[in-house]
Amino acid sequence: MTAVDTNILVYAHREDSEWHTAALRALTDLAESGAPWGIPWSCVHEFLSITTHPRIYLPPTPTPIALDAIEQWLNLPGCRTLAEGPAYFPRLRELAEKGRIGGPAIHDARIAAICLHHGARVLWTADRDFSRFPELRCENPLC
């Protein structure tokens, strides 16, 4: 299964992003592939926080429109939501300790642990920080 990180969702949504066309195409192709794919709930929350923030985007995306975008993605073929489960914390602990992760990087470890917990072996992201988690293969679909 492929999981999709926040930045790909933001680029696919924001038409003013220089990566909008590539991100939207990649997400569309993923949904149309018929293969299962997922969005971690933490990425949903981060997407909402970023796209509706007036210091990040002028104008920011109105909250109802951002929520509609999430709802549309969740209704696409093969989409699954990925959340913490019973075996999540041991995975988070392992990633944080092996990678000597702390501070803001814990958020990335959380996403990686959620993905691995659900059997995702690939994370689509433009964020190089995920390279700290070799158990999770990262691919940038925008390249």
Q: What is the mean pLDDT of residues 73-82?
A: 96
Residue 141 maps to a domain: no
Residue-level pLDDT at 13: 98
Residue 9 maps to a domain: yes
Residue-level pLDDT at 22: 98
Residue 142 maps to a domain: no
pLDDT confidence tier of residue 139, bands split at 50, 70 and 90: very high
Residue 45 maps to a domain: yes
Which among 108, 107, 143, 106 is positioned nearest to 126, based on CA atoms? 143
Residue-level pLDDT at 96: 96
Total domain count, the chain: 1
Q: Which domain, by its residues, includes 67?
A: 2-80+119-127
pLDDT confidence tier of residue 63, bands split at 50, 70 and 90: very high
Residue-level pLDDT at 21: 98
H or E stretch covering 7 = helix 6-13
Residue-level pLDDT at 93: 97
Q: For residues 8 and 26, is the Cβ–Cβ distance under 8 A? A: yes
Q: What is the mean pLDDT of residues 14-22?
A: 97
Residue 46 maps to a domain: yes
Residue 95 maps to a domain: no
Residue-level pLDDT at 56: 96
Q: What is the mean pLDDT of residues 16-22?
A: 97
Q: pLDDT tens, 78-128?
A: 999 999 998 899 999 999 999 999 999 999 999 999 999 999 989 999 999
Which among 86, 95, 79, 63 is positioned nearest to 27, based on CA atoms? 79
Residue 137 maps to a domain: no
Residue-level pLDDT at 51: 98
| Mean of pLDDT over the chain | 96
Residue 19 maps to a domain: yes
